[in-house]
Amino acid sequence: MGGTKALAALINSNKGIIARKKVATGTGKDAAEYLKSLSGIIKDIVKEYKLKDEQIAAVCVGVAGSVNPHSGVITFSPNLGLKDFNIKEALGELIPYPVLIENDVNLGALGVKYYGLGKNARDMLAVFVGTGIGAGFIFDGKLFRGANFAAGEIGHIKVEEGGPLCGCGNHGCFEAVASRTAIDREIKKELKKGEKSILKEFAASDKQIKSKVLANAVKKNDKLATKHLTRACKTIGNVLADITNLLNLDLIVLGGGVIEALDKFMMPIIKESFYKNALPTSSKGLKILATKLGDDAALYGGIPLAEEFLNIKV
């Protein structure tokens, strides 16, 4: 579930993604409208592939925000404009299948663990860098959710005392310094001051500079883009080193638009600052890799989610 669109896939562990569909959902401010488009896309797929109701084991919904996967309540999703909303019940009234929910980043981590680079990992962190920075933890092969199902909010680790304002209201959070939004903000700030760059058209633009545009700028040795991306990478490496010193993980997987578009540039810098700051005993044997699963990571995460909550094989 996104704020303005939903992406759906028909999926099982045998064939992977069998079909996918995208639908515009409106703003997400009207829950009834939103659910109608969501149930519509599900019914369309079932109809198109001539599936029987009993062939659908579950509908797994990924939500940007905090959720309770047991009760099916979206506790708070600013993107969707939903608060304390039981989507399991509400969507369950519109479709004849069990509805499961999970935070979208957690779903992504599950996807990476079971269908991506994490297959052989026991203790893994999946980090997604985009508009914000989120992470999902796998401990001992299982998703770690925390007491209030809010584990993995690494985007709000404080990295800069008195730093830039974060969406959460605090200053100097990791994502306020190293997300794509932060890179975009810093580049534009310097463009406004007259700094030379091939990105100069963005100086007065409300649009975020896309990852592909950043990648192109780096390819052309644009100093401004290179400077701010390098800064973000160093911060990412430092935070991942802190987490590794704390948890002694065996795998860190990085994903999200900016990493996927710029992995060749970003990963070496991230790794350099990581190994400079991680303790040798904590980082020994650890792998840091970039996923190529993209949005599909969260889609794949639906399979282990259904298997966990319904105790079935999908």
Residues contributing to the site for Zn ion (CB under 5 A): 156, 166, 168, 170, 173
Minimum distance, C-beta of residue 150 to Zn ion, in the bound complex (Å): 13
Nearer to Zn ion, 166 or 214 (CB): 166
Structure tokens at 99: 């509805």
Nearer to Zn ion, 9 or 182 (CB): 182
Nearer to Zn ion, 40 or 163 (CB): 163
Nearer to Zn ion, 179 or 291 (CB): 179
Nearer to Zn ion, 64 or 173 (CB): 173
Minimum distance, C-beta of residue 238 to Zn ion, in the bound complex (Å): 17
Nearer to Zn ion, 160 or 190 (CB): 160
DSSP 155: G
**Is 288 strand, coil or helix?**
strand
Minimum distance, C-beta of residue 166 to Zn ion, in the bound complex (Å): 3
- On whether the CB atoms of residues 71 and 269 are closer than 8 A, the answer is no
Structure tokens at 23: 């639908």
The number of residues making up the chain comes to 314
Which residue, 213, 298, 283, is CA-closest to 245? Answer: 283
Minimum distance, C-beta of residue 155 to Zn ion, in the bound complex (Å): 6
Minimum distance, C-beta of residue 79 to Zn ion, in the bound complex (Å): 15
Cα separation, 247 vs 50, whole angstroms: 47
Cα separation, 34 vs 26, whole angstroms: 7
**Residues forming beta bridges with residue 222, ordered by sequence position:** none
Minimum distance, C-beta of residue 105 to Zn ion, in the bound complex (Å): 15
17, 44, 74, 116, 176 from 255: Cα distances, Å: 19, 30, 24, 11, 18
